[in-house]
Protein backbone atom coordinates (compact mmCIF):
# COMPACT_ATOMS: atom_id res chain seq x y z
CA UNK A 1 0.00 0.00 0.00
CA UNK A 2 1.37 3.43 -0.82
CA UNK A 3 0.81 6.49 1.32
CA UNK A 4 1.16 10.13 0.33
CA UNK A 5 2.99 11.29 3.48
CA UNK A 6 6.23 9.98 4.98
CA UNK A 7 8.42 10.94 7.90
CA UNK A 8 12.09 10.04 8.36
CA UNK A 9 13.76 10.13 11.77
CA UNK A 10 17.50 9.87 11.17
CA UNK A 11 20.77 9.90 13.04
CA UNK A 12 24.12 8.41 12.05
CA UNK A 13 23.18 4.96 13.39
CA UNK A 14 19.76 4.41 11.85
CA UNK A 15 16.88 5.86 9.91
CA UNK A 16 13.29 5.06 10.79
CA UNK A 17 10.99 5.65 7.83
CA UNK A 18 7.21 5.75 8.22
CA UNK A 19 4.73 5.97 5.36
CA UNK A 20 1.33 6.77 6.81
CA UNK A 21 -2.25 7.84 6.35
CA UNK A 22 -4.86 8.80 8.91
CA UNK A 23 -5.38 5.20 10.03
CA UNK A 24 -2.44 3.18 8.68
CA UNK A 25 1.35 3.13 9.15
CA UNK A 26 4.16 1.24 7.41
CA UNK A 27 7.54 1.19 9.17
CA UNK A 28 11.01 0.53 7.81
CA UNK A 29 14.35 0.75 9.64
CA UNK A 30 17.56 1.33 7.69
CA UNK A 31 21.05 0.94 9.13
CA UNK A 32 24.31 2.12 7.57
CA UNK A 33 26.71 -0.55 6.32
CA UNK A 34 29.52 1.00 8.32
CA UNK A 35 28.02 2.70 11.39
CA UNK A 36 30.22 5.33 13.00
CA UNK A 37 30.67 5.16 16.73
CA UNK A 38 31.94 8.73 16.97
CA UNK A 39 31.67 10.80 13.84
CA UNK A 40 33.23 14.03 15.02
CA UNK A 41 36.94 13.22 15.16
CA UNK A 42 39.29 10.80 13.50
CA UNK A 43 42.70 10.43 15.13
CA UNK A 44 45.62 11.52 12.98
CA UNK A 45 43.40 13.24 10.42
CA UNK A 46 44.52 16.41 8.72
CA UNK A 47 41.84 19.05 8.66
CA UNK A 48 38.64 19.05 10.67
CA UNK A 49 38.94 15.31 11.42
CA UNK A 50 35.42 14.38 10.44
CA UNK A 51 34.82 10.87 9.19
CA UNK A 52 33.30 10.71 5.72
CA UNK A 53 29.52 10.49 5.49
CA UNK A 54 28.10 7.14 4.40
CA UNK A 55 26.49 8.10 1.09
CA UNK A 56 25.11 4.57 0.59
CA UNK A 57 23.12 4.99 3.81
CA UNK A 58 21.59 8.23 2.53
CA UNK A 59 20.94 6.60 -0.84
CA UNK A 60 18.95 3.80 0.83
CA UNK A 61 16.97 6.30 2.90
CA UNK A 62 16.24 8.38 -0.22
CA UNK A 63 15.01 5.28 -2.02
CA UNK A 64 12.77 4.39 0.93
CA UNK A 65 10.86 7.70 0.58
CA UNK A 66 11.00 8.01 -3.21
CA UNK A 67 7.36 6.97 -3.68
CA UNK A 68 5.98 9.41 -1.09
CA UNK A 69 4.29 12.62 -2.16
CA UNK A 70 5.60 14.67 0.77
CA UNK A 71 8.35 13.92 3.27
CA UNK A 72 9.16 15.37 6.69
CA UNK A 73 12.78 14.81 7.79
CA UNK A 74 13.53 14.91 11.51
CA UNK A 75 16.32 13.90 13.85
CA UNK A 76 18.49 15.02 16.74
CA UNK A 77 21.70 16.00 14.96
CA UNK A 78 23.43 16.64 11.66
CA UNK A 79 22.36 13.47 9.84
CA UNK A 80 19.07 15.05 8.75
CA UNK A 81 21.01 17.88 7.07
CA UNK A 82 23.43 15.42 5.49
CA UNK A 83 20.43 13.56 4.07
CA UNK A 84 19.11 16.82 2.60
CA UNK A 85 22.54 17.57 1.08
CA UNK A 86 22.63 14.06 -0.41
CA UNK A 87 19.17 14.50 -1.93
CA UNK A 88 20.11 17.86 -3.47
CA UNK A 89 23.33 16.45 -4.94
CA UNK A 90 22.31 12.92 -5.96
CA UNK A 91 18.49 12.65 -5.94
CA UNK A 92 17.27 16.09 -7.13
CA UNK A 93 13.85 14.76 -8.17
CA UNK A 94 13.14 14.18 -4.46
CA UNK A 95 13.97 17.76 -3.45
CA UNK A 96 10.45 19.17 -3.92
CA UNK A 97 8.98 16.29 -1.91
CA UNK A 98 10.87 17.31 1.24
CA UNK A 99 8.52 19.81 2.80
CA UNK A 100 10.06 20.15 6.25
CA UNK A 101 13.17 19.55 8.34
CA UNK A 102 12.95 19.66 12.13
CA UNK A 103 15.09 18.86 15.13
CA UNK A 104 13.43 16.09 17.10
CA UNK A 105 15.26 14.21 19.84
CA UNK A 106 14.47 10.48 20.31
CA UNK A 107 10.69 9.94 20.16
CA UNK A 108 8.99 6.59 20.25
CA UNK A 109 7.57 5.37 16.95
CA UNK A 110 4.04 6.33 18.06
CA UNK A 111 5.17 9.82 19.13
CA UNK A 112 6.98 10.32 15.82
CA UNK A 113 3.96 9.32 13.71
CA UNK A 114 1.66 11.50 15.84
CA UNK A 115 4.04 14.45 15.38
CA UNK A 116 4.17 13.89 11.60
CA UNK A 117 0.39 13.61 11.34
CA UNK A 118 0.00 16.89 13.23
CA UNK A 119 2.68 18.52 11.08
CA UNK A 120 1.01 17.54 7.81
CA UNK A 121 -2.46 18.44 9.08
CA UNK A 122 -1.22 21.95 9.90
CA UNK A 123 0.76 22.20 6.64
CA UNK A 124 -2.28 21.15 4.62
CA UNK A 125 -4.31 23.98 6.21
CA UNK A 126 -1.65 26.49 5.15
CA UNK A 127 -1.72 25.51 1.47
CA UNK A 128 -3.99 27.27 -1.04
CA UNK A 129 -7.35 25.58 -1.37
CA UNK A 130 -8.17 24.07 -4.76
CA UNK A 131 -11.49 25.01 -6.41
Q: Per-residue pLDDT tens for 22-32?
A: 889 999 999 99
> What CATH number is attached to the domain comprising 94?
3.30.420.60
Instruction: Say if 25 falls within a structural domain.
Output: yes
Residue-by-residue DSSP string for 89-121: HH-GGGGGGEEEEEE-----HHHHHHHHHHHHH
Rounded-to-integer distance, Cα 7 and Cα 101, Å: 10
Q: Taking residues 8-29, what's their average pLDDT? A: 95
Residue 40 lies in a domain: no
Residue 131 lies in a domain: no
Is the pTM here over 0.85, yes or no? Answer: no
Domain holding 72, by residue range, is 5-35+51-126
Q: Give the DSSP H or E segment for 80.
A: helix 79-90
Q: Is residue 105 situated within a structural domain?
A: yes
Q: 55-102: per-residue pLDDT in tens?
A: 899 999 999 999 999 999 999 999 999 999 999 999 999 999 999 999
Beta-strand pair 98-103/70-75: parallel
Domain count, the chain: 1
Amino acid sequence: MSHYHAVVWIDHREARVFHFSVDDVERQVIHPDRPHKHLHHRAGAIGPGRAAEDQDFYKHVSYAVSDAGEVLVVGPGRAKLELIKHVHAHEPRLTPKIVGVETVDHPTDNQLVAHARAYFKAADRMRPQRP
